[in-house]
Structure 1
Amino acid sequence: MSRVHSARNKDEFNVILNALERNHGLQARWLAELTALWALRISDLLAIKTQQIDESFATGEFSIIESKTQKIKVITLTPHAIKLLSQMRELNPTAIYLFESRYGGKRRALSRKTAWRWMSQVEPDVIKWRRSCGRLGGVNLGTHSLRKSGSRLRQQAGVTLEELQQLLNHSKPETTINYLDNNEQDLVDTFVAGDRALFGSENTN
């Protein structure tokens, strides 16, 4: 299975968010924003129930047990999160899950498969935007791209490796370093440099 990529910068992250909202509505955008903001695996985000959220408004935080690691993760409600969550609860006051599907008349958590499909459908939008900026190459997006994007953009904003390791609940810094790596994407620039080095071409399109 190919490694999924993160957004390369904040502008590209916004392209992803806007495409999700355009294709699948606000729920898709909110899912992406909270996954990146809380640095969660998609399975953990989709398991969150509205009761946890409602209780967290009074305390300013809530905790989950990560399904993969079985570690406790405490999530702080930032102003942006509070804004999103308030809108979500206002629009869906009777929802059981934070991200809920009522397919077939049954109320259940949105499926990981659906969330992954939403993300994969954004790939053409990102490629189109990259080409408009003079960047070549493809992109492989999935739900894990959101957790990676949240980490990469934090790093670009000055958050330290140690802080990111703690945020992601990684046991080793090497795991976090590998997580932030985007070798396949960065290699594209090396191919483009070949045009200039080998043939003196300035055209990257």
Structure 2
Amino acid sequence: MKTIQKLIFTSLIAAFLISCDNAEDLGPLTPLEVTLVEDLAAPNDEIDRNTGEVIQARSFQYFSLELNELVEENENWDIAFKGTTIRVNSSKNVTAAVVSGVFEEITEVPASAKFNTDTANSFAIPTGSGNGWYNYNSATFTVTPIPGRVILVKTAADNYAKIEILSYYRGNPPVEQIDPRTTPSGYYTFQFVLQSNGTSKF
């Protein structure tokens, strides 16, 4: 009888250890928090429409996904905004990929995602209408996020985050209410999820 009890006890310990290993493989057991950032002001340089010359140069706004706040350029920022351009912190080995999919349904970093960092000649998050996260309508002079485009970032702390840009205009107005002459642009509203345990699962 004692031998049988010992075998059962040993089997229970082994099952517990295996279940712990499997739990790690499954990633987070509870849903991760979706963080909403509203009206992050990062307008582009002010340019003379007639001459094309820069009237007022503006700085990038540096954002830490880990801290969920703006930081200084010499700190551990992950992404930086200015106009429609989004940079990643190449000096801290931050990389990014733009993928197609529904934000809520991306529960793991796709194996097909191609992560890059910024270089002197290119951005990890491509610029230009239709190339990265936005479209530019030359008829209405408006910038709108491309539906189904999600930005994946591997942060300076080596964690994964997924980001969806929701609006480029202050107050996140409906598209039909945007007037490029009066609606302030360069104000980002976006949502993101950060996986802080180092795994690729959301």
- Fold similarity call, TM over 0.5: no
The TM-score, its normalising length taken from structure 1, stands at 0.23
- Larger proportion of strand: 2
